[in-house]
Structure 1
Amino acid sequence: MRYITTLIIVLFLASNAKAQAPEGESWDKNISGKEHPNIQWFKDAKFGLFIHWGLYSAAAGEWQGKNNYGISEWLMNTARIPAKDYATLANNFNPVGFNAAQWVKQAQGFGVKYMVVTAKHHEGFAMFKSNVSDFNIVDGSPYHKDPMKALSTEAHKAGLRFGFYYSQFVDWHEPNGGRNNWDFDETKKDYQAYYRTKAIPQLKELLKNYGPLDIIWFDQAGGMTPQQTQALIDSARKLQPGTLLSSRIGNGLGDFKDFGDGEVPALPVKGAWEALFTHNDSWGYTKFDHNFKTSAEIVHLLATVASKGGNLILNVGPDGNGKFPEFSVRYLTEVGNWLKINGASIYGSTYGLIAPQPWGVSTAKPGKLFLHVFNKPTNGQIVVPNISDHIISAYRLDNHRPLTFVKKGTDILINAAAMPANADAVIVVNYKGKIKDAGPNAPTIVSYQYPQYNIEAAYTNTFGKASAKAIVSSNYHGDWKHNTCITAMATPADSANFKMRVTEPGDYKISLEYACDEKSKGQEGTLTVLGKDYNFLTLRTSADYDTHKPGLFIKHTIAIASIKKPGTYSISIKPYTSATELFKLKTIVIEPVK
């Protein structure tokens, strides 16, 4: 009875508002600040599997003989397909190759700890039996079975955490659903009628009919006030109090934070959060998208995300027959094999206490540091800064063989010459006491042991109006890229200061990696190192900055600095005169001259 009362409140509030949905609402990264009592499993999981599967999987990126490049689950939008025409895809959607037990077994072989699958994406087609709308796989396709029921049953049987993705606002099939403006007039829509008659009742079906759900993963929030969103959350809690709700439920009220598609935060973030990536470029299956991340690339991404304190949820797009792509199975199985040996460095870990180094990144557990060595130095010595007073021992995680080390000042130098140069060789360091977080101001260690060193924009001090912020771009529609850059440097007072700690004297080439549009080209800037100014002119990389176009960066060599003795040095960048923004500075690249 209490649930019914709460649901009535949701519907009453919904019927008395006609809120528009600005695009800025879509990716809500804010959370409630009240930690859910069931959140610990999520923090410890670190690796999840996302599955985008729907009618778009059968279309595979093609409509009426034409390939539509970009994320395939947005095919209806990008090709501006009328709702009644798009719905005909269901007439032939018959994924007889789907095997729920096989999906779950494969997921466990990938090493993931939870699975989230699309129950309804923006196309409006429910991949489950729904009594709310017959536009669903059981009633509206020749398949006539509920794959979500089978999948939830198998996941629960195997002990795999399980949840649903549900697009609560965007629904291109419905006249009152969000953001179909090619069939329906957006200004005349009654979003609340859509919530009242479809979204809320379908969410209720998912929460009541599919056993315990660990996650409801919302997307593209809109059309609800904070009060309406909170009432929706309260009603969901009545049915399943243990279910975690993603931040994209909107209005800053989720249980865990989801960053933008394809985004990793520049610095460690405390609390529960996810970075979400897809295995190739599209989230839904596309027959012509073969840009799959290799197992090594996935391992690096997983370790990098874990080193910043979060989870990686990696998407796979099954085809219209219900089969995972061959490369997804092969490469993710290889990741799973790596995790069988090195999982202790990922599962249950926290963000790294050591800033990213030329050799890789770190994760941590009480009394242990895990060094993820992506790149072996020429001399085989892994330099770990600022822990010499704390180290007890070091060993390889793959075979537990001890590694020798020496202390040098506040550093330790671990002899890793015998370790394989594979995707991610993990070293375990046992330590005592408390290691202070490195923070964003830790200098980048530079020597002759690597061909190149990158000092990222996040690891800088800015002055004046200069600031570091994420710059978004895309190669195709929905293929989002995120780069942290120093922006708003328009006067000599707007500057950025980078630190490098040089351990081997010598000559070092200094280059700037930046994006510069038409209005910023040809401006004069100044790079200062060792007390000497080096002036340069900015070079054009694109006509203008546009989030829906590729982000083009140039590597512009500015100077060669002769470092006479080891020490910490500063590199400063600023405009020479006042004008428009100098550029968007992504990285300082340091290369030893041999």
Structure 2
Amino acid sequence: MKKLVLLLLALSCATQTIFAQTPTSQDQHMKWWREARFGMFIHWGVYAQLAGNWQGHQIGRGGEWIMNRGKISVADYQQVAQSFNPVKYDADAWVKAAKDAGMKYIVITAKHHDGFAMFKSGASKWNIADATPYGKDVLKPLAAACKKYGLKLGFYYSQAQDWNNPGGAAARKVTSEGWANPDSAKIDAYTKDNTGHWDPAQTSATMGEYIDKVAVPQVKELLSNYGDVAVLWWDTPTNMTDEFAKKLQAVLSLQPNIITNDRLKRPNFPGDYKTPEQKIPAQSELDGRDWETCMTMNGTWGYKSYDNKWKSTETLIRNLIDIASKNGNYLLNVGPDALGQFPQGSIEGLKGIGQWMKVNGEAIYATNGSPLGTLSWGRCTKKTNGSNTTLYLHVFNWPTDGKLVVPGLKNKVNSAQLLAGGKKLSTTTTDEGVVINVPAQAPDAIATVIKVETAGTL
């Protein structure tokens, strides 16, 4: 009996130790990702060749969905690949642009929903090396450039939807979302009866066969042939089952340190972080899990020649700050054109962010979310240094009276200064909080950062 009690006690202690270590283990696993805060998403594939147009019509929604929303047949779409020849692709220039913008990692569409692999694959000839005049794997030079510039590399992989390889899933979209096709009623009836598919060639195999013969082998290729892969970014688990998901998840063992998102199969495969799309959650919507907002710079993920609704540099920078102030990451998209060039609007946006980050990156990288409440003038990020705390006050709305009030801050202020240039600022403590005396004009109209060193933790 005594031995049994001791055994149970030992098991209890062991269990507690395991659970006690788990958060620390996950914290270590996510350390680089949390510190990075800012990454580049790249949506690039055959769809860039069409640039949002099909047979004289501008197809609605994202450029990367043109095959589905335009209801382009498999044969016609595969014909497009014969013109896809991105001779101006320069992986080195791409990665340098990301680095200069202050980004710490890149996630590229290794295969989007059209099933086209941007790498040489033994699992399907529908890939850039075998199906285009370009004839080369574009991921290998990208991996080399990431290594050269010190950026982490991640792969987006559409594990469920695949509109070209037989058996892949297809999310049903009504034809009118693409354009006013006169055959819409007929097409919509067909997709309704055929699980979203619009071409019989798409259903000549089962989804199980597709998972076994295409998806699993291709993920193995991605995790075996490109060195360290930091992120696997799954997407749209249309018709996924737990059985399919387990097969794909098992391949992750090839990269023990890989971080994955929450889109493999919901809810039983939550991954390491959540992925709000095209929006920044309110503080009340967050549940303590790691999260990353993915967002376009204009209105499309994949290239469209006529989408010039670019977000301003101010919006991009303030989005990054807002996300960091809530413990999130910002994955900002670029959709290169068919020649392999970044659109001019993307280049300008990246340069604008880079200029701000070169001065203020300290207030973004390796920071934690704001310990303060709602701030009418902007946002706050922080770093804990032993028993002291550094606050970074990102001021969007500069005070007209020369006094910035930090509400609720009761800690002793050891110093306050403009992050750009280091000019010292005087402070006073009131019942309302700490008041910082600031210059009459904002040094940076987009976001001026004030660095405040305080005693104690927050």
Q: Same fold (TM over 0.5)?
A: yes
Question: Which structure features the higher share of helix residues?
Answer: 2
Q: Contact 2:230 / 2:257 at 8 angstroms: preserved in 1?
A: yes
Shift of 1:334: 1.8
Aligned to 1:87: 78
The answer to whether the aligner puts 1:211 opposite 2:234 as a matched pair is no
Shift of 1:190: 2.2
Q: Contact 1:170 / 1:177 at 8 angstroms: preserved in 2?
A: yes
Aligned to 2:143: 152
What letter corresponds to residue 237 of structure 2 in structure 1? A
The answer to whether the aligner puts 1:356 opposite 2:374 as a matched pair is yes
The answer to whether the aligner puts 1:134 opposite 2:157 as a matched pair is no
Query: Hey, what's the Cα distance between the residues in 2 that align with 1:98 and 1:375?
Result: 41
Cα distance change on mapping 1:81 and 1:210 into 2, 3 Å = same
What secondary structure, in the 3-state scheme, does the structure 2 residue paired with 1:394 have? Answer: strand
Q: Contact 1:355 / 1:361 at 8 angstroms: preserved in 2?
A: no
Shift of 1:349: 0.4
The answer to whether the aligner puts 1:429 opposite 2:445 as a matched pair is no
Shift of 1:41: 0.2
Aligned to 2:113: 122
Shift of 1:355: 2.1
Query: Hey, what's the Cα distance between the residues in 2 that align with 1:365 and 1:81?
Result: 51
1:340 paired residue among 350, 358, 365:
358
Gaps of 5+ in 1: 1-31, 436-594
Q: Contact 1:269 / 1:308 at 8 angstroms: preserved in 2?
A: no
Aligned to 1:168: 159
Structure 1 residues 476-495: aligned runs within 5 Å: none
Aligned to 2:184: none
Aligned to 2:429: 407
Shift of 1:191: 1.4
Aligned to 2:103: 112
Shift of 1:396: 0.6
Aligned to 1:572: none
What secondary structure, in the 3-state scheme, does the structure 1 residue paired with 2:274 have? Answer: strand
The answer to whether the aligner puts 1:378 opposite 2:393 as a matched pair is no
Cα-to-partner distance string for 1:156-197 (whole Å, 9 max, x where unaligned): 122111011100001111331101521249999621111011
The answer to whether the aligner puts 1:190 opposite 2:190 as a matched pair is no
Give the count of matched residue pairs.
403
What secondary structure, in the 3-state scheme, does the structure 1 residue paired with 2:98 have? Answer: helix
Cα distance change on mapping 1:296 and 1:138 into 2, 3 Å = same
Cα distance change on mapping 1:186 and 1:319 into 2, 3 Å = closer
What letter corresponds to residue 245 of structure 1 in structure 2? T
Cα-to-partner distance string for 1:285-339 (whole Å, 9 max, x where unaligned): 1111001112111110000000010100000000000000112112211211211
Shift of 1:340: 1.1
Aligned to 1:522: none
Using the aligned pairs only, state the percent identity: 39
What letter corresponds to residue 275 of structure 1 in structure 2? T
Shift of 1:254: 4.2
Aligned to 2:6: none
What secondary structure, in the 3-state scheme, does the structure 2 residue paired with 1:258 have? Answer: coil
What letter corresponds to residue 395 of structure 1 in structure 2? Q
Aligned to 1:298: 316
Aligned-residue CA RMSD (Å): 2.0
Cα distance change on mapping 1:426 and 1:131 into 2, 3 Å = same
Shift of 1:37: 4.3
Aligned to 1:50: 41
What secondary structure, in the 3-state scheme, does the structure 1 residue paired with 2:161 have? Answer: coil
Query: Hey, what's the Cα distance between the residues in 1 that align with 2:96 and 2:444?
Result: 30
Cα-to-partner distance string for 1:450-506 (whole Å, 9 max, x where unaligned): xxxxxxxxxxxxxxxxxxxxxxxxxxxxxxxxxxxxxxxxxxxxxxxxxxxxxxxxx
Aligned to 1:240: 255
The answer to whether the aligner puts 1:328 opposite 2:343 as a matched pair is no
Query: Hey, what's the Cα distance between the residues in 2 that align with 1:374 and 1:316?
Result: 26
Using the size of structure 2 for normalisation, the TM-score is 0.84
Shift of 1:421: 4.8
What secondary structure, in the 3-state scheme, does the structure 2 residue paired with 1:217 have? Answer: strand
Structure 1 residues 165-564: aligned runs within 5 Å: 165-179=156-170, 180-184=196-200, 190-226=206-242, 228-237=244-253, 239-251=254-266, 252-267=268-283, 270-366=288-384, 367-418=389-440, 419-435=442-458
What secondary structure, in the 3-state scheme, does the structure 2 residue paired with 1:125 have? Answer: coil
Cα-to-partner distance string for 1:22-61 (whole Å, 9 max, x where unaligned): xxxxxxxxxx988274311001000000000001111100
Question: Which structure features the higher share of strand residues?
Answer: 1
What secondary structure, in the 3-state scheme, does the structure 2 residue paired with 1:261 have? Answer: coil
Compare relative contact order (CA 8 Å, sep 6+) and give the higher one, 1 or 2.
2
Query: Hey, what's the Cα distance between the residues in 2 that align with 1:393 and 1:203?
Result: 51
Shift of 1:269: 5.0
Query: Hey, what's the Cα distance between the residues in 1 that align with 2:205 and 2:326?
Result: 42
Using the size of structure 1 for normalisation, the TM-score is 0.65
What letter corresponds to residue 128 of structure 2 in structure 1? I
